């Protein structure tokens, strides 16, 4: 994911990476009209710089990245799902509580009305969670240390079967004040896994339902978010149905860092995409069978769908080992959106 900064940078920027992007991908970005920055590995950069991080943890000091203890502690505080239980208090319609130990968890699962979802204190949305739908799911307890990194964790009501719309609101935060940028729509699979995100295509029909509730939430964060934090924030939420009514969950989690949605917003801004055009990012898993010929697939899809596609992250590392996922950018019309997404997904995950 470190490569996701390249599509939003300028030619005179430096992008710190653990592994350099391959020449083919770097040329692809340029051919698509992007202005990727200069790949940089540690060392040899001594001038004064303005540091932009995925999440705020470092200072730039004498040509080196150094951990800033205050920034790191602030980042951990803000991004902790345990801390966020206080942030979302009085705003979430779903019950959620802190689980501090294995014994506490066993007792909670016996008392709670299933289904519930367990979330790690720190982890990626849609990945570091475990859903318990019935007592027969008890075998999943063995996955807690691997998938959730142990305790503490958060136990929350799960309404996945009734959840029908996922959104994320994007903000800039400066000195504790929140400045609204836009809202996005997220594609989430039935198990809560993140599949992609989109912006554009005109007005969002659900925005009048959820945006006022997110603003109400923001008002109550004034004394909870440290003034020292300045940077991006994404607030994820969703809509679900209950007894024939639509219910708004204005916040399932906060991301005080760059998010996939923020990358999409920045790419869209850089490309000066018109409001009526849909822009999307798909997080595409490497096929379970066969070998993916990504450039042939992209060329074929562009011809078949009459659209432009931009591969934002490499499919493989420099040794040739495939990554678990790759991120692909597309633009299309509202009318063609469903066909475009389904065709891309099928061609990528099940190549002939």
pLDDT above 80 (res 269) = yes
Distance CA 239, CA 2 (A): 31
Query: Residue 33, exposed/middle/buried by CB under 10 A (0-12, 13-18, 19+)?
Result: exposed
127 Cβ contact partners less than 8 Å away, ≥ 6 residues apart: 193, 194
Determine the pLDDT at residue 304.
96
Q: What is the pLDDT of residues 73-125, one digit of tens each?
A: 999 999 999 999 999 989 999 999 999 988 898 888 888 888 999 999 887 76
Determine the pLDDT at residue 43.
65
221 in Cβ contact with 87 (< 8 Å): yes
pLDDT above 80 (res 17) = yes
Q: What is the pLDDT of residues 192-213, one digit of tens each?
A: 788 999 999 988 899 999 999 9
Distance CA 81, CA 117 (A): 13
Determine the pLDDT at residue 228.
86
Helix boundaries (H) for 55-136:
69-79, 84-87, 102-111
Which segments within 100-209 are labelled E, that is strand?
A: 116-120, 129-132, 153-157, 163-174, 177-188, 194-200
Average per-residue pLDDT for the chain:
90
Average pLDDT over residues 324-336: 95
For the chain, list the domains and their CATH numbers. Answer: 2-79 (no CATH), 96-158 (3.30.1490.20)
Average pLDDT over residues 259-271: 95
The 3-state DSSP class for residue 64 equals strand
Distances (CA, A) of 140 to 3, 14, 112, 122, 144: 33, 43, 16, 19, 7
Residue 132: both structure tokens together: 């318990």
Handedness of CA 183, 124, 29, 36 (dihedral sign): positive
* Model confidence, pTM: 0.91
The 3-state DSSP class for residue 150 equals coil
Determine the pLDDT at residue 261.
95
Average pLDDT over residues 308-326: 93
Distance CA 205, CA 185 (A): 11
Handedness of CA 302, 308, 313, 314 (dihedral sign): positive
């Amino acid at each position: 994911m470190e490569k996701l900064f390249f599509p939003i940078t300028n030619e005179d920027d430096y992008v710190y990476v653990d592994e350099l992007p391959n020449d083919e991908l770097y040329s692809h970005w340029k051919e698509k009209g992007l202005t990727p920055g200069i790949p940089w590995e540690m060392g040899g950069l001594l001038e004064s710089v303005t540091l932009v991080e995925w999440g705020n943890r470092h200072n730039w000091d004498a040509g080196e990245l150094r951990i800033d203890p205050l920034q790191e502690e602030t980042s951990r505080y803000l991004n902790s799902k345990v801390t966020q239980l206080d942030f979302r208090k009085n705003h979430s319609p779903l019950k959620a509580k802190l689980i501090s130990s294995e014994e506490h968890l066993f007792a909670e699962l016996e008392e709670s009305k299933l289904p519930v979802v367990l979330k790690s204190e720190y982890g990626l949305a849609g990945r570091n969670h475990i859903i318990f739908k019935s007592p027969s799911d008890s075998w999943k307890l063995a996955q807690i240390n691997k998938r959730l990194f142990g305790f503490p964790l958060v136990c929350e009501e799960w309404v996945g079967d009734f959840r029908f719309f996922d959104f994320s609101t994007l903000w800039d935060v400066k000195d504790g004040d929140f400045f609204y940028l836009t809202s996005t729509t997220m594609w989430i699979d039935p198990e809560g896994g993140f599949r992609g995100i989109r912006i554009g295509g005109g007005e969002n029909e659900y925005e009048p339902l959820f945006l006022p509730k997110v603003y109400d939430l923001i008002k109550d964060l004034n004394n909870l978010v440290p003034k020292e934090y300045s940077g991006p924030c994404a607030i994820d939420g969703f809509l679900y149905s209950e007894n024939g009514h639509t219910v708004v969950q204005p916040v399932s989690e906060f991301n005080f860092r760059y998010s996939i949605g923020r990358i999409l917003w920045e790419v869209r801004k850089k490309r000066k995409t018109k409001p009526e055009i849909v822009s999307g990012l798909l997080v595409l898993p490497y096929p379970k069978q066969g070998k993916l010929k990504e450039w042939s697939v992209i060329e074929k899809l562009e011809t078949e769908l009459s659209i432009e596609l931009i591969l934002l992250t490499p499919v493989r590392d420099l040794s040739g080992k495939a990554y678990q996922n790759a991120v692909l950018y597309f633009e299309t019309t509202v009318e063609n959106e469903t066909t475009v997404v389904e065709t891309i997904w099928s061609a990528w995950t099940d190549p002939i």
